[in-house]
Amino acid sequence: MAYISFLLFGVSVNACLISAFLITFSVYNLNLLTDKKEDALNFPEREQYYVSEEKKLVFISILFYVLAIAIGSFVNLRSVPALLIPLVLGIFYSVRIKGYRFKDLFIGKNVTVSLSWAMEASLLPAAFHFNGAYVAMIFIFIFINGIINTTLFDLRDVKGDIKAGVRTIPSIIGVKNTRNLLFAMNTLLISWVLFAFYNSMFLLYIPVFIFCILYGYFYIFYFSREVEIPRTHYGIFLDGEWIFLLMLFLLTAAF
């Protein structure tokens, strides 16, 4: 996401992208440690590993985050606020403060994760070349995609989330209504593309954004079917979405 955002801003690739990677790795693993109860139900094969290697994971996660901030500070001190956003949101997302955490709130999980992705990716290149309109547009695009993505993962984890007391969209409104909601959200991105086109924004990459919308319809339909779907498909088609898109962005820029 950050790499694509750099391309859209026209900012040269630099070491801050390494910081973005390290932070994603760090926050993701820290969150897994706080979500052992849910994972014991959704991914029982993980439980033994996280119990036995918990201290190592905490150490590595903290080390990587410190390293990420150090790299960001060295490249551009103004990048640090953007790099701290995932940590702040991650704390409120995973850690219970006075008995509450964002993940336990209805759509709190989806909004917090999507905010983290969208804010970091849209603000990081702005530290090098600020453009308020670009920040807003990239934020909206990533945020909507994030809501769709995380909700599809909720469909996979609905059993464990219900038992753990996590209120998600699928557990409240059901699979069919969730699918219709996600189709509607994906359709909103058509307006986003039209707005970008008529305002001469990201013109070179408009075909890639159109592909992204069509691809969204595909995986919403695929993952909302009430059949058993291999877990590896979530990693390939959902988590891997931005890798596919980055390849298309780079190919488009090259030609």
With 80 as the cut, is the pLDDT of residue 54 above it? no
Comparing 249 with 47, the larger pLDDT belongs to 249
User: Which residues, at least 6 apart from 190, have a Cβ–Cβ distance to it below 8 Å?
Assistant: 213
pTM: 0.89
Which domains, and CATH codes, for the chain?
2-254 (1.10.600)
* pLDDT tens digits for range 22-52: 999 898 888 777 666 555 555 555 555 555 5
* pLDDT tens digits for range 148-167: 999 998 888 777 666 766 67
Amino acid identity, position 212? C
Q: Which residues pair with 100 in a beta bridge?
A: 97
Predicted local confidence at residue 100, as pLDDT: 77
* pLDDT tens digits for range 97-111: 777 778 777 888 889
Binning pLDDT at 50, 70 and 90, where does residue 67 land? very high
Predicted local confidence at residue 41, as pLDDT: 53
With 60 as the cut, is the pLDDT of residue 197 above it? yes
HEC secondary structure over the chain? CHHHHHHHHCCCCCCHHHHHHHHHHHHHHHHHHHCHHHHHHHCHHHHHHHHHCHHHHHHHHHHHHHHHHHHHHHHCHHHHHHHHHHHHHHHHHHCCECCECHHHCCCHHHHHHHHHHHHHHHHCHHHCCCCHHHHHHHHHHHHHHHHHHHHHHHHHCHHHHHHCCCCCHHHHHCHHHHHHHHHHHHHHHHHHHHHHHHCCCCHHHHHHHHHHHHHHHHHHHHHCCCCCCCHHHHHHHHHCHHHHHHHHHHHHHHC
Amino acid identity, position 189? L
Nearest to residue 178, comparing CAs of 157, 148, 146? 148
